[in-house]
Amino acid sequence: MIVFGKKLLFKIIFILIVMATLTFLVVNENGLLKYLKLRGEVKNLNEELLKAEEKLRSLDSEIDSLRVSKAKIEKVAREKFSMMKKNERVFKIEAK
């Protein structure tokens, strides 16, 4: 009878130690929850980085085209800065 009680006690203590260890690994300052949160942040930052790199490539491409093409310079001047040639009239149509 005493042997059966010791085995049961040993199992209970073992289960409690395992549960305490798992709880510590999940909840502590550097645990699984923190890891998952940081992994999500890294994913978001990588996505932002890819978007920024794509925008940079787009802007580099536009800079290159502005260096080469006078027509492109004229188009940008007209669209972004509302510039026009001498003796030219510009009509703006506004929606109601």
The closest of 37, 33, 11, 15 to 24, measured between CA atoms, is 33
Asked whether residue 95 is assigned to any structural domain, the reply reads no
Q: Name the residue with higher pLDDT: 81 or 58.
A: 58
Q: Determine the structural domain holding residue 2 and report its residue range.
A: 1-29
What is the pTM for the complete model shown?
0.55
Number of domains in the chain: 2
pLDDT digits (tens, 9 = 90+) for 33-54: 888 899 999 999 999 999 999 9
Q: Say whether pLDDT at 3 is over 70.
A: no
Asked whether residue 93 is assigned to any structural domain, the reply reads no
CA atoms within a 13 Å half-sphere pointing along the CA-CB vector of 69: 13
For residues 23 and 35, state if they share a domain: no
Residue 32: Cβ within 10 Å count = 12
